[in-house]
Amino acid sequence: MGGGRGYLLFSDPPANIVRQWRSGGPATPFLDPSGAVGSDPARVREPGANGLALDREGGLLIANSGGRSIDRVNLATRRRTVLVDRYRGRRFNSPNDLHVARSGAIYFTDPPYGLVGGDASPDKEMAFNGVYRWTPGGGVDLLDDSLTRPNGIALSLDETRLYVSVSDEAAPRIMVYDLESRTPSLWLDLKPMHARGGAGLPDGMKVARDGTMVCSVPGGMMILTPDAEPLGLISTGAPIANCAFGEQGRVLYLTANDRVLRLPLRAGWQG
């Protein structure tokens, strides 16, 4: 999900479309196709764009699942530029989500969800599913190659910690990394919620301007303190994949299975 310029953008990776919504009107196609062009459905499971974000210049950044790259789209001209699509000469699997640092660096996850067969796909060139940082002019760094299903990603307010959700049915969790030492630790174990039958797996997340965490979990979207203390749960009975703040932090938008929801907030929580 991404916002700006008075409208909401949200991606539909299987349909290969990014849609636009303005208050009072219907959702309409914004980028079609949003990801891979002319992809083979027998080989590409999710051809479209996945995670969205805005950079410091107002460009739309895309985790291009089907195109296997991180792209930038000029919102005025719709011109697309591929920022990075390889690590050490090998193509990414299917970039899933991304977060932009104040420096312009892009942190992103690369699970195999976009490929038919996942890890067994003959098109998978990486031996792992990675977490990366791309720096303008500085190339791409691998931060972690040990996670089975890296998915949602976010930085803490002071940008010293990186959060990554792991949507692995056997071990659903959210990890946190000290970026100075690159040391990972478990931030939130979600096996109990998954075992109780909560719909979905950990997915997207956002950090509010007071540090409050809004994280997709089995069962919905959870509100937590920076120390992982639960404050509340938004539940619809179906998976909630991602979220975005809008309208100066007065609204939380949620992508909930086959619906996009708008939740007014009492306090400004703009991330």
d(CA 243, CA 46): 20
The answer to whether residue 1 scores a pLDDT higher than 80 is: no
Of 242, 227, 131, 232, the C-alpha closest to 187 is 227
Nearest to 210 by CA among 156, 264, 142, 130: 156
CB atoms within 10 A of CB 212: 17
Output the CA torsion sign for 66, 69, 75, 77: negative
Average pLDDT value for residue range 188-196: 97
Beta bridge partners of 183: 178
Q: What is the pLDDT of residues 132-157, one digit of tens each?
A: 999 998 899 999 999 999 999 999 99
What is the set of domains in the chain, with CATH numbers? 2-146 (2.120.10.30)
Measuring CA to CA, which residue among 251, 246, 247 is closest to residue 263?
A: 251
The pTM (predicted TM-score) of the whole model is 0.95
Q: Fill in the DSSP letter of residue 59.
A: P
Q: How far is it, in rounded angstroms, from Cα 150 to Cα 158? A: 22
Angle at 166 between CA 205 and CA 267, to 5 degrees: 15
Helices (H), the chain: 191-195
Expressed in angstroms, the distance from the first to the final Cα of the chain is 13
Q: How do residues 204-254 score in pLDDT, each as one tens digit?
A: 999 998 999 999 999 999 999 999 999 999 999 999 999 999 888 889 999
Q: What is the pLDDT of residues 69-107, one digit of tens each?
A: 999 999 999 999 999 999 999 999 999 999 999 999 999
